[in-house]
Amino acid sequence: MSGGSLENQGAHFERVKALKETRPYSPCRAACPVNTDVQAYVGFIAQGRYAEAFEVIRSVNPIASVCSMICHHPCEQACRRCSVDEPLAVRPLKRFALEKAADYRRNKRKLVQKTKNKSIGVIGSGPSGLTAVNDLADLGYQVTIYERHPVLGGMLASAIPPYRLPRETLQQDIDDVISKGVEVKTNCEIGKSITLKDIMAKHDAVLVAVGLSLSRSLPIPGVEGPGVLLAIPFLEDVAFDRKPALGNRVLVIGGGNVAMDVARSARRLGVRNVEMVCLESAEEMPAWKWEVDEAVEEGITIHHRWGPKAIKREGNTVKGLEVEKVLSVFDKDRRFSPTFDKNQTTLIEADTIIITIGQMSDMSFLKDSPVQVDERGRAVWDSKTHMSSAKGVFFSGEVVTGPGSAIAAAASGHRSAVAIHLYIQGEQIEGNLPSYDKEKISQLPEDVIAKINRAPRIKLHHLPPETRCSSFVAFESGYDEMEALEEAGRCRGCGGGAVVDKNKCMACLTCQRICPYGAPVVTSFSEIRPEFCQACGLCAPECPGQAISMVSYDVREFRDTLPSLVGAVDSKRNEPVIVAFLCSHHVGAPGFTLPDNVRKVPVHCTSRIDVNDLLKALECGADGVAVVRCSGDSCKYKGIGVRVNARVVHTKQLIGMLGMEPGRVEILTADSHNGNAYNTVCADFSGRIKQLGLIQRSNRL
């Protein structure tokens, strides 16, 4: 049954957005710890709609700018293009969109009304704390942040070096949150400036999001004394411009991401000879591969499969690290349990050693508080409610989850905010926290892979290693607009494709016949299988029941806006009103210019344009309507040209029945690599329409 009322075209769009939530996620979205709708925002970027891309990103991620620089992008690793050529460069695209939307973003910041008469104290302003603050402020709570450092951001400000995360970038995220009306207390260390009891007394709930602020050390001979530094204090010195004491040969013990930061920061402090030693082989190293590659480019040597035995000193001066050969790192159950060959040892020379073997939480401030810690000094909490052993005191982030990524900490922050909100409202928490574990679309089938054009990933721009090691300036520069559009165009739209309204489908088999990728399977109604669908949109205009919508890229959005796009047509105009539907893959971007009288409608693919869209443009007052496509083989989908042609021919027949010249609707093609070519073909078309005459309408819509 088609529901109680006649279909409202605008309502359609709202309906498909909700629909996306009930279907398997694209693998990129499923892999993201906060389920960012990657496909949606990459799709917006491809159409030049940067503000909308920003909205998609920011709606789930309060540390968006941070992630745009340092996220380990599990979305990219999950990208289905991996089985074709290379994954989408999602993180650089996110960076591009956020930078483009900077003004829009700034203008959106405003105070949020405090509607609840309750306040929450959040200890720690790292990714999880900041996220919780964001969410609670949005819910109308008064929030106070207690941060021990002079600046907000937690590890993001105090440990991640600025060549990876520039200060200004982090500040964008912080400003977004603070502008909502949050009380900030910096230089305020829990346990020193203020006690937990005080905080608990002042607020209706407290969130402890202090992270892992202590560095582990090694209980080996020689560790005491000058020349041996720990990771976090070293990085904090770097962050706050305090010159740490380094010699000429720095050796970093550790193989994780923090160790990379330490080593590369040391390089940038002028140390030419920076080396690393770790238990793991290159393949086993926990650090992200690209960080290792970049470090190696910067001249850092890594000694694999050696375990620290003792620090050799001559007097007080560090001479080097004695190491023994590692036989294995993990036991048969994949647990960390290194074994050594004590007979194989060597000395790695160094005058400064930085130990970067892991972090732990500083729970000293919980002494004599109702919040319990276990016998190993770890906080006691219920992961299903985020609550500690003390009522109203919650935990979030690495302090309880252990080391993880910034975005995973943000996910924890989201859950904590919901937990606190439910607690304050007196509702049940357990079972009501958001879950980010979602079903994902399965692998690309072989025969679909064969039909996807190969296109290499647009390379990122790094400063040459020597240049970048001379300072802490960001070593990666972002895509320019052409690059971003091209890279975004590589997205295959997983999950954004066609979906059938069962109430309208009568199993006519049209979609099954037309799909180049074999996505629809028709039984009593059509089901379009998301793992096959490439979101080209060819099926939707053919459906005689208009039962197919595109979850993303739906043309119904712009069909509704055609009247305002065309606007009021001046009956005394000199130039014809032209509506041009442009394929956004190469064309529909602000970078392209078109003649002034051409109203531009970028569409994901011209395959999605229906006869009804072309008629609507004419109905709204256009003198001529053009479908603008790329010439040649650059189309990213199969079989589009023939169908678009057939639809334009049909439209010509229909308008002929009204006595309109068939030449008012045309397909225009141009070479997609020549920026001016589109301007030229549109101008030529406009000239031909002018010759046909401007349509005088007696009755305006």
**Residues that bind other proteins in the complex, under the rule CB under 8 A:** 1-7, 503-504, 506, 508-510, 513-514, 541, 543-547, 610-612, 615-616, 618-619, 654-655, 657-659, 697-701
**Nearer to other proteins among residue 3 and residue 426 (C-beta):** 3
Per the DSSP assignment, residues forming a β-bridge with 146 are 123, 185
**Nearer to other proteins among residue 179 and residue 612 (C-beta):** 612
Q: What is the DSSP string of 124-174?
A: --SHHHHHHHHHHHHTT-EEEEE-SSSSSSTHHHHTS-TTTS-HHHHHHHH
Per the DSSP assignment, residues forming a β-bridge with 325 are 306, 341
* Helices marked H in 426-477: 446-449, 465-468
Q: How far is the CB of 655 from other proteins (least distance, A)?
A: 8
**Nearer to other proteins among residue 1 and residue 450 (C-beta):** 1
How big is the chain by its Cα radius of gyration, in Å? 30
Q: How far is the CB of 657 from other proteins (least distance, A)?
A: 4
* Pairing outcome for strands 352-355 and 336-349: unpaired
Give the C-alpha separation, 512 to 518, whole Å. 7
Q: How far is the CB of 559 from other proteins (least distance, A)?
A: 10
Q: How far is the CB of 372 from other proteins (least distance, A)?
A: 59
**Nearer to other proteins among residue 259 and residue 528 (C-beta):** 528
DSSP letter (8 states) at residue 111: P
Q: How far is the CB of 525 from other proteins (least distance, A)?
A: 11
**Nearer to other proteins among residue 346 and residue 503 (C-beta):** 503
**Nearer to other proteins among residue 40 and residue 562 (C-beta):** 562
**Nearer to other proteins among residue 489 and residue 541 (C-beta):** 541
Q: Which long-range contacts (CB under 8 A, 24 or more apart) does 172-175 make?
A: 172/65, 172/98, 172/102, 172/105, 173/62, 173/63, 173/64, 173/65, 173/66, 173/130, 174/125, 174/130, 175/109
Q: How far is the CB of 13 from other proteins (least distance, A)?
A: 17
DSSP letter (8 states) at residue 694: P
Task: Pull the structure tokens for residue 99.
Answer: 């930078």
Phi, psi of 432 (to 5 degrees): -115, 10
**Nearer to other proteins among residue 210 and residue 609 (C-beta):** 609
Q: How far is the CB of 4 from other proteins (least distance, A)?
A: 5
**Nearer to other proteins among residue 636 and residue 647 (C-beta):** 647
Q: Is the alpha carbon torsion for 497, 503, 509, 510 positive or negative?
A: negative
Residues for the chain: how many in total? 701
Return left, alpha or beta for 500; rule: phi > 0 is left, psi -120 to 50 is alpha, else beta.
beta
Q: How far is the CB of 526 from other proteins (least distance, A)?
A: 12
Q: How far is the CB of 69 from other proteins (least distance, A)?
A: 47
